[in-house]
Amino acid sequence: MENFLCSKEYWQVVETGFSATTHDTDLSDEQQKAIADQRLKDLRAKNYLFQAIDRLILETILDKETSKGIWDSMKKKVPRKCKGQTCATAGSSQGF
């Protein structure tokens, strides 16, 4: 999933998170556009994550506000068991 999000150029917003400011009127047009672009990337990343996550697991995730919150919850719920090797060679089909 990480590779897929990297290929779509959404991984940065998943890894670092996105927080919108509440005082958008104090920002320049350029800053507002940058925030709107980040918000759109976050929404698209969330959409991909929602499609990839099993419904039973998705119902247990409490923080669904940002893609980073979803990703962090997934890391806790589905720990990677790939030490010293890639997930593909370990036989993991999830890839989280």
3-state secondary structure 46-83: HHHHHHHCCHHHHCCCCCCCCHHHHHHHHHHHCCCCCC
d(CA 54, CA 56): 6
| Global confidence as pTM | 0.69
- pLDDT by residue for the chain (96 residues), tens digit each? 889 999 999 999 999 988 766 565 678 889 889 889 999 999 999 999 999 988 888 888 888 888 999 988 888 877 665 444 334 433 444 555
d(CA 26, CA 92): 47
Neighbours of 49 (CB within 10 A): 23
